[in-house]
Amino acid sequence: MSGLQLADITKRFGAVTAVDGISLNVDDGTFVCLLGPSGCGKTTLLRMIAGLEDPTSGDIRLQGDRINDTPAHKRNLGMVFQSLALFPHLTIGENIAYPLRIRGANRADCEARVRELLDMVQLPGIENRTITQLSGGQRQRVAIARALAVSPQLFLLDEPLSALDAKLREAMQVELRQLQQRLGITTIVVTHDQREAMSMSDQIVVMSNGKVEQMASPIEAYKRPASPFVADFLGQANLIKVTKADGGAAFSGGLIPGLDIPYSGQVLISVRPEDVVVAEGEDGPVKADIVFIREMGSTIEIHLNAGSDRVIALAPPKSHCDLHVGTSVSLTLPPEACVVFGPEGAH
């Protein structure tokens, strides 16, 4: 069921349209990431869901009820900001109990709930310490515990992990996802990190210029991007201009046999580097020259010139020991791995 519905939401700040007619449904219990480059409107959208900004137009509904005019503190949601906004003069226990206190909970109930929440975020027994005695990752968990103290219907997080170093961030991604799955709480996270979005969410909403480019599962968005923007933003993509030709699609480097182009004129296709096949010899439909190779640990990345196009291929290590910069090879772009973009998106 769609617990949260956004219907044609627009937000303008003077001449700037931060969010431009966004409609989307978030099913109960799902983990959704709002993903996109800086300035695309992610935070503004999250703040409108939270009640911290008013939409210029459009409706926000929670379980069918329009909540545009419901103040933030009555929306039954928990929120974690990038800054965490923990109170340094309060103990950890007091920080976590704060939202319960302002709702009038008594001391014993608060203490019991704080213990429960600290267990849940795997920090048992630290309620009497101060915030300054915690590491970055521990503070993150305290902020999460505080946001979940009132058992919210919606859990909203704005770049919650961006201040952490890479290793800790990955560990926290797993923890956050496990916690969300355990609690079954509808969660919306703003991030500009596509790996983070892909690895945590049930659904990702890829945004650009205040609009939704695509809402889909991570694998769907990766495999079948709805636009060149999505293809390029999620991981690496070879974006190549092609035209319909006899037996396939033609590009500057040769032919992609079997790829049907349902349009006349030039269109863009996208093919992921791991789908590009590099073979020794020059017998294939596309000849290419290697211009750069780098070892990436679990893969090797091969940059090739094919006609006037630059193509990147990823291959397993050791699979291509004989390839060097300057070697001429043959390339295959499997038609089933190519996404064709028409005037209005992917086909």
Q: Which chain residues interact with ligand ATP by CB under 6 A?
A: 13, 16, 18, 36, 38-44, 192
Of 114, 137, 136, give the one whose Cα is nearest residue 126.
114
What does the H/E/C string look like for 128-178? Answer: CCEHHHCCHHHHHHHHHHHHCCCCCCEEEEECCCCCCCHHHHHHHHHHHHH
How many whole angstroms separate alpha carbon 67 and alpha carbon 57? 13
42 or 139: whose CB is closer to ligand ATP?
42
| Least CB distance to ligand ATP at residue 40 (A) | 4
Q: Are 186 and 29 in contact (CB under 8 A)?
A: yes
Q: Which is nearer to ligand ATP, 155 or 251 (CB)?
A: 155
| Shortest Å distance, C-beta 209 to ligand ATP | 9
Tokens of 284: 């294939």
Q: How many helices (H) and strands (E) does the chain have?
A: 8, 21
Work out how close the CB of 266 gets to ligand ATP at its nearest, in angstroms, rounded to a whole number.
31
Q: How far is the CB of 184 from ligand ATP (least distance, A)?
A: 27
Distances (CA, A) of 322 to 148, 274, 280, 315, 317: 56, 19, 8, 13, 12
User: In angstroms, what is the minimal distance from the CB of 333 to ligand ATP?
Assistant: 33
Residue closer to ligand ATP (CB basis): 43 or 140: 43
Alpha helices, H only, the chain? 42-50, 92-101, 107-120, 136-147, 166-183, 194-200, 218-223, 228-233
Looking at the Cβ atoms of 10 and 91, the one nearer to ligand ATP is 10
> Rounded to the nearest whole angstrom, what is the least distance from the CB of residue 130 to ligand ATP in the complex?
29
The amino acid that residue 100 corresponds to is L
Closest approach, Cβ 280 to ligand ATP, in A, equals 44
Distances from the Cα of 238 to the Cα of 96, 211, 229, 232, 346, angstroms = 47, 24, 12, 8, 15
Of the pair 11, 287, the CB lying nearest ligand ATP is at 11
CA dist 114 and 145 (Å) reads 8
Closer residue to ligand ATP in complex, CB, 40/86: 40
* Closest approach of ligand ATP to the CB of residue 13, in Å: 3
Nearest CB to ligand ATP, comparing residues 40 and 97: 40
> By C-beta, is 94 or 158 nearer to ligand ATP?
158
Residues 299 and 314: beta-carbon distance below 8 Å: yes
CA gap 204, 31 in Å, rounded = 9
Nearest approach, Cβ of residue 314 and ligand ATP (Å): 28
Start-to-end C-alpha separation, the chain? 28
As to burial, measured by CB atoms within 10 angstroms (0-12 exposed, 13-18 middle, 19+ buried), residue 58 is middle
Which of residues 211 and 347 has its CB atom nearest to ligand ATP in the complex?
211
